């Protein structure tokens, strides 16, 4: 038991109370999983209509899944985790809209792309789109306004997706993807970015998203895994406090998987598991951050039991080494099975 066990329990209790007092999320998440199932063929077909580009990743936020229809599908284009464009697939072809408000921080960003009207789309094979892809293929560094958390998230996702152990930093882990076609961030109705300060709230569809949702472990020991990522190890936000955000999101997932009206078995299948949800559910709950002076391991493998259930959250840490903003290795982790 760590010194913060009671605070962790308070977070779980508060999240449970928020969810019980705001039931609108139940039908909304049932609609989310229904949209994933019914629109899967539309999205897969749309994704096949444009090629991958060097250094550019395709994300499928839940909001874009819900918007997708037989006429238009949407994809988020990100560079090092930061949104830099949006792809539209229509019957007339593939086009892209450039996120110039984000892209202005990249050095020598092509002037031709700044001159495009805010809501003007360009054909995927146009001169402008080719210029856009070539620019990001050169791996430009963001001058200011850089969000390292997004960058680290992108790096870890690529690492976790590897299937061979030769150059994989952390074994026995695979991120959950949406239809195997794009990165996916599981949304929650909980706003928990300041939970370490005792502030947590219910935010409907504006709640925070899980940084990385994965399956981790071996054989029957594979668990749903919630990873909260930080770009620094700070005295003001050490890992034993930062993990509270992951605890809040993991508590929501447990509630989702135990609420019959929210189609829990369909969510369980979407998360990549076969069979029924186990009678005793364990969700690994992880804080990931660079190795630093304030790294703590006292909470590792602590089990927090969800009130009135046999389910628990199992706490873990991942500390990684960084050189020139590049993750070079996992320095220490309790996820060793």
Q: Which residue has the tokens 């947590």?
A: 200
CB 231 within 8 A of CB 186: no
C-alpha 67/C-alpha 73 separation (Å) is 7
Rg over alpha carbons for the chain, rounded to the nearest Å, is 20
Q: What are phi and psi of 225, to 5 degrees?
A: -130, 125
C-alpha 110/C-alpha 103 separation (Å) is 10
Q: What is the pTM of this model?
A: 0.94
The pLDDT, as a whole number, for residue 70 is 83
Q: What are phi and psi of 224, to 5 degrees?
A: -60, 135
Q: Which residue has the tokens 């969810």?
A: 19
Which three-class secondary structure string do you get for 128-145?
HHHHHHHHHHCCCCCCCC
C-alpha 67/C-alpha 39 separation (Å) is 10
Confidence check: pLDDT of 145 > 60:
no
SS3 (DSSP) at 14 = helix
The pLDDT, as a whole number, for residue 116 is 81
For strands 173-175 and 82-90, give the pairing. unpaired
Could you report the per-residue pLDDT of 87-104, keeping only the tens digit for each?
999 988 999 999 888 888
Could you report the per-residue pLDDT of 253-301, keeping only the tens digit for each?
999 999 999 999 999 999 999 999 999 999 999 999 999 999 999 999 9
pLDDT classification of 337: cutoffs 50, 70, 90: low
Could you report the per-residue pLDDT of 163-208, keeping only the tens digit for each?
877 788 999 999 998 866 678 889 999 999 999 889 999 999 999 9
- Chain-wide mean pLDDT for the chain? 92
SS3 (DSSP) at 221 = helix
The number of beta carbons lying within 10 Å of the beta carbon of residue 52 is: 8
Please, what's the b/e burial string for 127-147 (b: 16 or more CB within 10 A of its CB; e: otherwise)? ebbeebbebbeeebebeeebe
Host H or E run for residue 323:
strand 312-323
C-alpha 66/C-alpha 178 separation (Å) is 13
112 vs 14, more confident: 14
Confidence check: pLDDT of 73 > 90:
yes
In the numeric block, which tokens belong to residue 334?
A: 């309790």
The pLDDT, as a whole number, for residue 181 is 61
Eight-state DSSP code of residue 220: G
Confidence check: pLDDT of 117 > 80:
no
């Amino acid at each position: 038991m760590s010194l913060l066990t009671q605070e962790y329990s308070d977070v779980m209790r508060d999240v449970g109370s928020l969810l019980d007092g705001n039931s609108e999320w139940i039908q909304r998440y049932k609609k989310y999983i229904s949209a994933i199932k019914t629109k899967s063929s539309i999205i897969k077909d749309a994704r096949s209509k444009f090629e991958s580009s060097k250094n550019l990743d395709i994300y499928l936020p839940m909001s874009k899944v819900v918007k997708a229809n037989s006429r238009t599908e949407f994809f988020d284009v990100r560079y090092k985790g930061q949104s830099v464009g949006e792809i539209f697939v229509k019957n007339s072809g593939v086009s892209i809209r450039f996120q110039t408000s984000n892209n202005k921080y990249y050095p020598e960003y092509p002037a031709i792309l700044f001159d495009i009207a805010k809501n003007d789309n360009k054909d995927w094979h146009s001169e402008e789109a080719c210029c856009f892809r070539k620019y990001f293929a050169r791996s430009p560094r963001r001058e200011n306004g850089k969000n390292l958390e997004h960058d680290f998230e992108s790096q870890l996702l690529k690492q976790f997706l590897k299937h061979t152990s030769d150059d994989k930093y952390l074994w026995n882990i695979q991120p959950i993807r949406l239809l195997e076609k794009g990165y996916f961030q599981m949304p929650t109705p909980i706003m928990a970015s300041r939970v370490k300060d005792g502030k947590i709230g219910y935010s409907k569809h504006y709640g925070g998203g899980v940084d990385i949702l994965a399956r981790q472990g071996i054989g029957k020991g594979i668990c749903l895994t919630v990873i909260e990522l930080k770009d620094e190890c700070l005295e003001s936000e050490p890992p034993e406090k930062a993990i509270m955000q992951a605890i809040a999101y993991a508590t929501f997932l447990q509630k989702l998987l135990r609420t019959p009206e929210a189609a829990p078995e369909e969510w369980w299948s979407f998360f990549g598991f076969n069979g029924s949800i186990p009678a005793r559910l364990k969700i690994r709950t992880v804080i990931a951050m660079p190795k630093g002076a304030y790294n703590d391991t006292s909470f590792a493998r602590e089990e927090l039991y969800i009130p009135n259930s046999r389910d628990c959250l199992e706490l873990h840490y991942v500390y990684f080494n960084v050189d020139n903003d590049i993750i070079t290795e996992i320095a220490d982790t309790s996820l060793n099975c």
